[in-house]
Amino acid sequence: MIRLAILGATGSVGQSTLEVVARNADKYQVFAVSGYQRLTELLNICKKFQPKLAAVPANAAVSFQQQLQAAGCKTEVVAGEEGLETLASTPEVDVVVAAIVGAAGLVPTLAAVKAGKRILLANKEALVMSGALFMDAVEKYQATLLPIDSEHNAIFQCLPANFAKRSFAEQGIEKLLLTASGGPFRGWSKEALKDVTPAQAVAHPNWSMGRKISVDSATLMNKGLELIEACWLFNVQPQQIEVVVHPQSIIHSMVSYRDGSVLAQLGNPDMRTPIAHALAWPKRIDAGVSPLNLMTAAALTFEQPNNLAFPCLALARQAFQAGGTAPAILNAANEVAVAAFLEQRIRFTDIPKVINRVLDLSRIQAANDLELLLSEDRRANQVAQKIIQKLH
């Protein structure tokens, strides 16, 4: 029986993981879960799966433990960031699903790495913020890192089995083709984007996701963060990655080889597929996803991203090229700007302006220390807040 810790169990990735586990209850046990705001949902998860541990914010720990006891659930509550690290590193856990959104997921995911776990990575911000430090730790502590973002998982499936031990040139790989749906505003002009609402931005045409990641998809920042993540995961440079807008979200990403071959991973847009793949790798299990019917699938179309209307993708490329703390600063500024947009304090088109301004006001440093990265995250957060106040 393989025991799981699911960091971010109440989010869309966490919920999809629980569905896959429920379909394969003879193979997997939910040992630990965490939640942040949606504690009613977390309580229901604990009632159903009876995990040994649950991590919640420190100010909710006592109340949540009482609710568990009243429900006859023996789950033990651990609190705050230390509680998350406990979940990620406890010896009984075999697999850690890193699905906490944003910078908050970095420290517990690193704790899982240092404990040598198999990590199913959905928290792209962990790699965006601390790329070299994170990947060095994966190697040092012999952790197993498997991507469950649909695009990175697709690339992983299309690469040779031994790609991590050999260079792309040795294996005849030309480039990675990272697909993007284009989000809800594909085809919109820069002028038309000024008046979009949060409700429009979170209405993704293909995927069911949380509000923050949905806005990131709408701005194409999600693809920018994925590009940075792919650089670290697969040891490539941004110029070796081509972003391709594919509105149907049937091809999840591709790998182009020197001999002219392009390998693609196809499937219905459902997060349970990459989660099930990584859970069982190198085997396959039932994910509960209907097989793709090519006879009824829509035509597959492709186009270039509109960098003029959606400048966040270019900002992400620039941040990776700048190196050091730049990606962490980019990520922090984006988190603040997206939150402000969702609260209707800034326009949709202000999001890249805030990010660009924070980067301009920042001194890029070498990113070889976790405390420095976390400090820069906090500083960039504060700078972004000040910029947003001036936009009012």
Every domain range in the chain assigned CATH 1.10.1740.10? 323-391
Predicted pLDDT at 256 = 97
> Among the residues of 206-349, which ranges form H helices?
211-219, 221-234, 272-280, 312-322, 326-342
| DSSP-derived 3-state class of residue 67 | helix
Q: Is the dihedral of CA 313, 315, 321, 325 positive or negative?
A: negative
Measure the CA–CA gap between 218 and 334, rounded to whole angstroms: 13
Every domain range in the chain assigned CATH 3.40.50.720? 2-148
Would strands 241-245 and 173-180 be described as parallel, antiparallel, or unpaired? parallel
Contact 18, 41 (CB under 8 A): no
Bridge partners of residue 6, in order along the sequence: 33, 97
Contact 2, 26 (CB under 8 A): no
Residue 45, both tokens: 């998860």
Residue 82, both tokens: 């230390």
Range list of β-strands (E), 106-206: 118-121, 144-147, 173-180
Q: Regarding the domain delimited by 2-148, which CATH topology (the fold level of the hierarchy) does it fall under?
A: Rossmann fold (3.40.50)
Measure the CA–CA gap between 235 and 27, rounded to whole angstroms: 32
Residue 77, both tokens: 């509550």
Predicted pLDDT at 392 = 67
| DSSP-derived 3-state class of residue 176 | strand
Predicted pLDDT at 297 = 80
Q: Which CATH number fits domain 323-391: 3.40.50.300, 1.10.10.60, 1.10.1740.10, 3.30.950.10?
A: 1.10.1740.10
Q: Dmax over Cα atoms in the chain, in whole Å?
A: 63
Measure the CA–CA gap between 302 and 308, rounded to whole angstroms: 18
Residue 93, both tokens: 């856990």
Predicted pLDDT at 167 = 76
Question: What is residue 264's DSSP assignment?
Answer: E
Strand order across the 241-245 sheet: 241-245, 173-180, 251-257, 262-266
The residue type of 101 is V
Render each residue's pLDDT in the chain as its tens digit; 392 residues.
Answer: 999 999 999 999 999 999 999 999 999 999 999 999 899 999 999 999 999 999 999 999 999 999 999 999 999 999 999 999 999 999 999 999 999 987 888 999 999 999 999 999 998 888 999 999 999 999 999 999 999 999 999 999 999 987 776 778 888 999 999 999 988 999 899 899 999 999 999 887 766 677 888 899 999 999 999 999 999 999 999 999 999 999 999 999 999 999 999 999 999 999 999 999 999 999 999 999 999 998 888 789 999 999 999 999 999 999 999 999 999 999 999 999 999 999 999 999 999 999 999 999 999 999 888 999 999 999 999 999 999 998 86
Element (H, E) at 91: none
Surface-to-core class of residue 1, CB atoms within 10 Å of its CB (0-12 exposed, 13-18 middle, 19+ buried): exposed
> Cα angle at 213 between 208 and 216, to 5 degrees?
125
For the chain, give the number of residues.
392
Contact 5, 45 (CB under 8 A): no
Q: Is the dihedral of CA 182, 187, 191, 196 positive or negative?
A: negative
Contact 119, 98 (CB under 8 A): yes
Please, how many CA atoms are within 13 Å of residue 333, restricted to the half-sphere of its CB?
Answer: 31
